[in-house]
Structure 1
Amino acid sequence: MTQLPALVTLLTVLLLFGTTWLVGRARGKYAIKAPATSGHPLFERAYRVQMNTLEQTVMFLPTLWLAATYGFNGWAGIAGLVWLLGRVWYAVAYMNDPAKRGPGFGLASLGWLALLVMTAIGVVRAMAVG
């Protein structure tokens, strides 16, 4: 369990790579020339999945590692897996039907919220001791 946050981080990097690959593939398939970020609806979906995942990752990774650092290593890894599964669910759903992306987003948000609570508890606890 001690290496679970590292595994989650690696899987998150692979998820980011996957969303980047989807955008590149859609850009070629639908002839969307860089730097354009609009055009075919399926390209726009792929682009939004990539950007939203990147935006969420900026908040996710620091809370994952703060929670792990401040005494919740195993639980942080589990919450990180929940976030990761939610983001994959979100991406697949968004690509198929944007109206059905909500449950995946909700699951990822739940995982992140758990990390945020662990981080807050850990930081406050460390400040009280130190």
Structure 2
Amino acid sequence: MHPLIALVTLLTIVLMIACTILVGRARGKYKIQAPATTGHEGFERAFRVQMNTQEGAIMFLPTLWLAAYFGNPEWAALAGAVWLAGRIWYAAAYAVPGRNRGPGFAISLLALAVLLVMASWGLTWTLLLAG
């Protein structure tokens, strides 16, 4: 694995851990007992950020790895860093009532689309050349 891809992967895991910690803090602050996932709006925001980040990472990480393997690892790492920045922006905006989380979401979605195109293009060429 390319070191830059490993770095983006590691930073994505750190983001997911940070989101988990924020949910734990919100549980304590708003006195939301596990396994409850509803209650105070502040807790629900933290919980949705965590869940949305995990849902996004499930699509992002394998796409990142495929784009790096079948495409260019440096470009894949750059797109991955953009995805990560978009997710951080999204999470920070979601946590505050009234802030627009749309730009962060759009940035991460666009970066994911770029990675998907890179992975698809590279895999297609690999399959065509192998045949």
Shift of the alpha carbon at 1:3? Answer: 1.4
Match of 2:66 in 1: 66
Aligned length: 129
**What is the TM-score of this pair, normalised by structure 2?**
0.96
The 1:49–1:5 alpha-carbon spacing in structure 2 relative to 1, beyond 3 Å, is same
Equivalent positions of 1:16-27 (< 5 A) are: 16-27=16-27
Q: Distance in 2 between matches of 1:10 and 1:97?
A: 29
Match of 1:89 in 2: 89
Q: What amino acid sits opposite 1:60 in the alignment? A: F
Shift of the alpha carbon at 1:97? Answer: 2.7
State the superposition RMSD in angstroms.
0.9
Match of 1:75 in 2: 75
**What is the TM-score of this pair, normalised by structure 1?**
0.97
Q: What amino acid sits opposite 2:104 in the alignment? A: G
Match of 1:36 in 2: 36
- List runs of 5+ in structure 2 lacking aligned partners: none
Shift of the alpha carbon at 1:98? Answer: 5.4
Q: What amino acid sits opposite 1:45 in the alignment? A: R
The share of aligned pairs that are identical, in percent, is 57
Q: What amino acid sits opposite 2:4 in the alignment? A: L
Match of 1:121 in 2: 121
Give 3-state SS (helix, strand or coil) of 2:95's partner: helix
After the TM superposition, list the runs of 4 or more consecutive aligned residues in structure 1 that deviate by more than 4 angstroms.
none
- List runs of 5+ in structure 1 lacking aligned partners: none
